């Protein structure tokens, strides 16, 4: 059987996307490979099809135990024999899976890195015939990656224990240094590198300076009421407060973080996957491997730790290819908090420097004055010609102004106050505030006191933030977040240069939902709703998310084509043989009860 036959008969698709076929061919030829493909780009097919075509068991190393169940459920919906081995199973359940493996009844096995590295597991699996070993989220092996995990470092053992089995390392986010680390740390042998484009053209990127973040979030969410989405916060306390705040305003918002009971986290994740219009408010504990295709937005109330983390988290939106939003507010306080967290961690100094560099890169991206998508792709080494027309910078180009004099005032105030105070106090001095701290330190007698009284604190925070991004100031976290001048600031203070700053836009244009974007005509809404209801019923009966039965895109094509036979339904993208046998008659009969609407003057016969 050829790969395209498997794609059509099992997955229900007629054509491979991008480099999928080349990746599958390399694996079937026994070659190691490194696969970089954006979230939603179809990475899983790249290792699943070789596991089906080649003799033996396909092994998938996946970092999150909680998501293996959903991944296995999805494969079983396609008629693929799959299972997982992890600590959530009883001894009897684990033994059953091992018996299935020994009997040659499984095509794919999902296993966590810490489990596969146990000597007992290695001995057992290396005694089996294995078709492929896929190492998912491979960036976790690299200290330069945004989600470094110690267990991944020992996965180079797989080369020794499975010398004849091709290995495939997969990730959605890796700069050039991280890619080199993946190859070296996993001991891949002369791997073929497949780097797909990082662009997600259906995602609109928007970034705002942080003011009243909850009010800003509400303004963003109101036109999107009823959409599924994720709101990321830095702290558990903020997650809980934001979820309660949104619930009081009529949104179906659920918190998710590591401090919640396991049962609560599981319940909230299942509701998000299985119900429409749920908003998950979460820390980064939520998301890796989430396969829900109809997430319409990802919002950040705080800065992530890096461009890679931001790209991966926003990549959970719009996996179905429909329009989606990546929206974020950020402020100087985010930088201070994240840097404090880095400095207080047990990581080595080199790792802390790496993390600080990555945070600085993200902050710089937030302040760009050119196409935001082009700047994002450039970070990953990809050129993007022209402007995208689908980011805040392209849609509302930022206004720049000559900030030389204002910058000189702020830098002088930092110097006069001793280079040991945070932005809040420096700005209070500039604006001539009458605080107890200013009076006690006698900063009201400085030459810089009140020289910036003609502007608001918010305005001055924007100036301070941009001076940090452009390297004229840095935050000294060993001295409690005090601002300090850099060597670069000297030329600016002397007047040797002109500094253009970005003017913050208080209220960016909001994009309202366009009903036509759904692709459903008014006359077809009743059928669309009926198909979704039937899908939900079948999913609930099996205890799986609705999208595992059929994706929205598949239901849309059913509405458009109105298949009336098994042959016609099989031509719908996303309908393979197994799903045709399980659900075909139910959907064909339902479609038949909704006749095609006729135009005036037509007989309908």
Is the confidence at residue 505, as pLDDT, over 60?
no
Q: How far is CA 415 from CA 87, 400, 427, in A?
A: 57, 26, 13
Predicted confidence band at 399 (pLDDT cuts at 50, 70, 90)?
A: confident
Least confident of 60-69, 123-132, 364-373, 415-424: 60-69
**pLDDT exceeds cutoff 70 at 519:** no
pLDDT at 375: 86
Give the whole-angstrom CA distance, residue 428 versus residue 18: 55
Query: Both tokens of residue 296?
Result: 């319409």
Residue 79: pLDDT band (50, 70, 90) is very high
What number is the average pLDDT over the span 397-412?
Answer: 92
Angle at 109 between CA 107 and CA 114, to 5 degrees: 160
Percent of the chain at pLDDT above 70?
Answer: 93
Task: Spell out the alpha helix ranges (H) of 234-317.
Answer: 236-248, 262-274, 307-314
Domain architecture of the chain: domains with CATH: 3-195 (3.40.50.300), 203-398 (3.40.50.300), 400-503 (1.10.10.10), 518-592 (1.10.150.80)
Cβ-based neighbour number of residue 266 at 10 Å = 14
Q: Residues 316-342: pLDDT tens digits?
A: 999 888 899 999 999 878 888 888 888
Main-chain dihedrals φ then ψ at residue 401, nearest 5 degrees: -145, 160
Q: What is the pLDDT of residue 224?
A: 92
pLDDT at 411 over 60: yes
pTM as predicted: 0.72
Q: Distance between CA 42 and CA 563 in Å, rounded? A: 26
- Please report the pLDDT score of residue 423 as a whole number: 87
Q: pLDDT class for 361, splitting at 50, 70, 90?
A: confident
Nearest-angstrom CA–CA distance, 513 and 516: 9
Read off the pLDDT of each residue in 547-566 and give the average, rounded to a whole number. 91
| Overall average pLDDT of the 126-130 stretch | 92
In whole angstroms, what separates CA 489 from the centre of its chain? 36
Query: Is pLDDT at 78 greater than 70 in this prediction?
Result: yes
**Where residue 349 falls among pLDDT bands split at 50, 70, 90?**
confident
Q: Residue 295 — pLDDT band, cuts 50, 70, 90? A: very high
pLDDT at 110: 95
Q: Which residue has the tokens 């659900």?
A: 583
Would you state the pLDDT for residue 163?
A: 93
Grouping H, G, I as helix, E, B as strand and the rest as coil, residue 475 is: strand
The C-alpha atoms of residue 8 and residue 2 are separated, in whole angstroms, by 10
Q: What is the DSSP letter of 504?
A: P
CA–CA separation, 307 and 19 (whole Å): 25
Q: Backbone dihedral region of 226: left (phi > 0), alpha (psi from -120 to 50 degrees) or beta?
A: left
More confident residue, 39 or 252: 252
Give the per-residue pLDDT at 522.
Answer: 82
Q: How much is the mean pLDDT over the chain?
A: 87
For residue 103 the two structure tokens come to: 């009997």
Q: Is 34 exposed, middle or buried (0-12, 13-18, 19+ CB in 10 A)?
A: buried
Q: Which range, 271-275, 436-440, 455-459, has the best average confidence (pLDDT)? A: 436-440
Q: pLDDT over 90 for what percent of the chain?
A: 55
Mean pLDDT on 396-421: 92
Report CA-CA distances (Å) from 328 to 209, 220, 373, 483.
Answer: 8, 10, 14, 25
At residue 65, does pLDDT exceed 90?
A: no
Reported as a single tens digit per residue, the pLDDT across 182-214 is 999 999 999 999 998 889 999 999 999 888 899
Alpha helix ranges (H) inside 432-523? 436-441, 457-469, 489-494
Q: Quick check: 482 pLDDT over 90? A: no
Gap between the Cα atoms of 136 and 68, Å rounded: 12
The CA distance from 490 to 475, in Å, is 17
Nearest to 44 by CA among 174, 144, 139, 137: 137
Sorting pLDDT into bands at 50, 70 and 90, what band is 513? very low
Residues forming beta bridges with residue 329, ordered by sequence position: 208
| Cβ–Cβ < 8 Å for 362, 344 | no
């Amino acid at each position: 059987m050829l790969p395209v036959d498997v794609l059509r008969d099992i997955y229900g698709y007629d054509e491979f996307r991008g480099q999928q076929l080349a990746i599958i061919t390399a694996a079937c030829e026994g070659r190691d490979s490194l696969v970089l493909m954006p979230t939603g780009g179809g990475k899983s097919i790249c290792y699943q099809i070789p596991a089906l075509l080649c003799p033996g068991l396909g092994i998938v190393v996946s970092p999150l135990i909680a998501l293996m169940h959903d991944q296995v459920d999805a494969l079983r919906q396609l008629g693929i024999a799959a299972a997982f081995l992890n600590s959530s199973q009883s001894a009897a359940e684990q033994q059953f899976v091992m018996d299935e493996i020994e009997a040659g009844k499984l095509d794919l096995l999902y296993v966590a890195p810490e489990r596969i590295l146990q000597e007992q597991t290695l001995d057992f699996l290396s005694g089996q015939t294995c078709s492929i070993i896929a190492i998912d989220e491979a960036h976790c092996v690299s200290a330069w990656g945004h989600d470094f995990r110690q267990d991944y470092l020992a996965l180079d053992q797989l080369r020794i224990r499975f010398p004849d089995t091709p290995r495939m390392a997969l990730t959605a986010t890796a700069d050039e240094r991280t890619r080199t680390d993946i190859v070296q740390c996993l001991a891949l042998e002369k791997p073929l590198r497949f780097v797909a484009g990082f662009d997600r053209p259906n995602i609109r990127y928007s970034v705002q300076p942080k003011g009243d973040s909850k009010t800003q979030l509400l303004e963003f969410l109101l036109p999107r009421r009823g959409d599924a989405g994720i709101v990321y916060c830095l702290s558990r306390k903020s997650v809980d407060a934001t979820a309660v705040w949104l619930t009081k305003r009529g949104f179906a918002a659920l918190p998710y973080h590591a401090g919640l009971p396991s049962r609560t986290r599981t319940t909230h994740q299942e509701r998000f996957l299985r119900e429409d219009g749920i908003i998950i408010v979460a820390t980064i504990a939520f998301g890796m491997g989430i396969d829900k295709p109809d997430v319409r937005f990802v919002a950040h109330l705080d800065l992530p730790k890096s461009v890679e983390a931001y790209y991966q988290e926003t990549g959970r939106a719009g996996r179905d290819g429909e329009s989606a939003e990546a929206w974020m507010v950020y402020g100087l306080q985010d930088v201070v908090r994240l840097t404090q967290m880095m400095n207080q961690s047990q990581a080595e100094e080199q790792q802390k420097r790496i993390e600080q560099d990555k945070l600085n890169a993200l902050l710089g991206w937030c302040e760009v004055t050119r196409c935001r998508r082009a700047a994002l792709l450039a970070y990953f080494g990809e050129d993007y010609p022209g402007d995208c027309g689908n980011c805040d910078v392209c849609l509302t180009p930022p206004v720049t102004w000559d900030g030389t004099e204002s910058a000189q005032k702020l830098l002088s105030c930092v110097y006069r106050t001793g280079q040991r105070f945070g932005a809040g106090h420096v700005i209070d001095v500039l604006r001539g505030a009458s605080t107890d701290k200013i009076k006690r330190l006698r900063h009201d007698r400085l030459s810089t006191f009140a020289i910036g009284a003609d502007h608001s604190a918010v305005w001055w925070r924007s100036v301070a933030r941009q001076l940090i991004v452009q390297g004229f100031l840095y935050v000294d976290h060993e001295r409690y977040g005090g601002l300090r001048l850099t060597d670069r600031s000297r030329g600016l203070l002397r007047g040797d240069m002109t500094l253009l700053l970005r003017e913050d836009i208080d209220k960016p244009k909001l994009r309202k939902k366009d009903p036509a974007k759904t692709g459903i005509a008014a006359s077809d809404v009743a059928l669309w709703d009926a198909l979704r209801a039937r899908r939900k019923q079948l999913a609930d009966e099996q205890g799986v998310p609705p999208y595992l039965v059929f994706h929205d895109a598949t239901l849309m094509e059913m509405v458009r084509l109105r298949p009336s036979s098994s042959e016609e339904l099989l031509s719908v993208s996303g309908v393979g043989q197994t799903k045709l046998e399980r659900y075909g008659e139910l959907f064909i009969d339902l479609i038949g009860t909704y006749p095609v609407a006729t135009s005036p003057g037509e007989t309908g016969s």
